[in-house]
A and B are shown apart, each in its own frame.
Chain A
Amino acid sequence: MSALTEIRHHIRVVEDTRKITRAMYLISSAKMKRAMRQHDQNALSFERIRSEIRFILESIHVPTRNPFFRPHGDKTAYLVIAGDKGLCGGYNHEILKLADSVINKTPPEDRSLFTIGHMASEYFERRGQHPDVHYLHVIQDPSLRHARAITSELCWLFTQHILDNVYVIYTQLDSKGSLHATSRRLLPILKEDFADAAETDEPVRVLAYHPSRFEALDTMVTHYLIGWIYSALVQANASEHHARMNAMYSATNNADDMLSRLNIQWGHARQQAITQELTEIIAGSGAGADYL
């Protein structure tokens, strides 16, 4: 096969690949924007709830009777959130590496494993640690309904003392666009969790509570937990798409570099071939002239 067809073929392969990576880049960037919008909307009510809870906690001097504030025992559950798919740079690797090291600090008899995303469940299954619970069809399009279902399950297990601690291992996306794999405690709730909540800005906060501040707190805590899980889900989703977007962006750029190199090569090869042909024709006509 001549160098020309070989390079042509090479160019076509790179072009096809570039089409895939470019499409994936566009899809991921749209999905990431959507997830960020979900996150920002949730943050509006979530931060309100946190400052209300902080206000109540600071105004009562007795330990609350809300069950989610009460620490007990060592049985720890880890909820690991990874993606359903790969092709997103180090995203899945980073979070699963962290999950692995965090989980192994708890002895196997005390720990249970919850996973979201195929990559997470496959990873642990390969290592012989079968997830106790795997939530299907959640991470590609996290909704409030999923968050409610997951939260109520975890809360039920907590109040039944089947679980004593709940940690969620997921990826946060900060405002500067960098990813942080983190492990954060969901349950039990501690007063410190609200230390960074915005202080309620109104100067007069001598509030009455109806029917009582404890009941108000119970309602807020439920909403807080759901908001927390929802926020983790949409952040993990946004992070995954962010990582995929970057991976596909650089893949597309690499393809562009490769294409421009190949085009130059192709030009050279073509020129060479033409020169060769010309030489042959001229040589041929020269040789033929002798006979004329």
Chain B
Amino acid sequence: MSAFHLTILTPEHTFFEGAADSLTFQTDDGLFGVLAGHQPEVVTLAEGMIRISSNGSIREAAGSDGFVTILPGNVTVILQSIEWPEDIDRHRAEEAKREAEEALRQRQSLREYTLARSMLARAMVRLRVSDQNRG
């Protein structure tokens, strides 16, 4: 089976980059398949499963909406997020955890910043006073 170059991009990471034999994804009116030699086309992608066949193995990932640009020998998928099934629950849980930690940390960090700032201010005052006293 002849292959084409597949790139899957989200704003946060490059999910897939390499040779693929076929790509199947969801559109508003059903499944859409791409093989090497497909006519040049831009396809709107609906949320759903994205099936990638590369190097003889077939893998499925869960994707958001986006679009696919099909050019001779080159297919680019751009979407908001895409995950392998084994990462989904972990990601979701991790994100929730991170969010909670982040809210805490930023509150903490602002407090530490106020502390550091007053420490610096105190040091500055000491410097100024000792400079003045030495004339």
Contacts and interface: CB of A to CB of B under 8 A. Distances in A.
Interface string A215-230: 1100110010011001
A20 B28 contact: no
A9 B131 CA distance: 12
Contact of B40 (A9, A137, A207, A223): A207
B72 interface: yes
A49 interface: yes
Contact of A52 (B69, B120, B123): B69
A208 B39 contact: yes
Nearest to A212: B44
A210 interface: yes
Interface string A1-29: 00000100110011011001000100000
Given A202-B71, A210-B44, A216-B42, A45 B102 contact: no
B123 A204 contact: no
Contacts of B72: 202, 204
A10 B12 CA distance: 48
A17 B123 contact: yes
A45 B9 contact: yes
Nearest to A38: B12
A13 B126 contact: yes
Given A52-B42, A204-B40, A215-B44, A84 B106 contact: yes
B10 interface: yes
Contacts, number: 118
A147 B39 CA distance: 34
B20 interface: no
Contacts of A48: 9, 69, 76, 78
Nearest to A209: B42
Interface string B1-20: 00000000111111000000
Contact of B41 (A6, A42, A147, A207): A207
Given A6-B134, A41-B12, A41-B13, A211 B127 contact: no
Interface in B52-80: 65-67, 69, 71-72, 74, 76, 78-80
B102 A141 contact: yes
**Size class of the contact patch on chain B:** 35 or more
A17 B120 CA distance: 6
Interface residues of A, number: 48
B40 A219 contact: no
Interface string B72-94: 10101011110000000000000
Contacts of B130: 6, 9-10, 13
B40 A205 contact: yes
A219 B41 contact: no
Given A9-B130, A41-B13, A144-B80, A210 B123 contact: no
Given A202-B40, A219-B66, 7 more contacts: A14-B123, A44-B9, A141-B106, A144-B12, A206-B40, A210-B32, A223-B80
Interface of A: 6, 9-10, 13-14, 16-17, 20, 24, 38, 41-42, 44-46, 48-49, 52, 84-87, 118, 137, 140-141, 144-145, 147-148, 202, 204-211, 213, 215-216, 219-220, 223, 226-227, 230
13 contacts: A10-B127, A14-B123, A45-B78, A52-B69, A84-B113, A87-B113, A87-B116, A148-B80, A207-B40, A208-B42, A211-B44, A216-B67, A223-B79
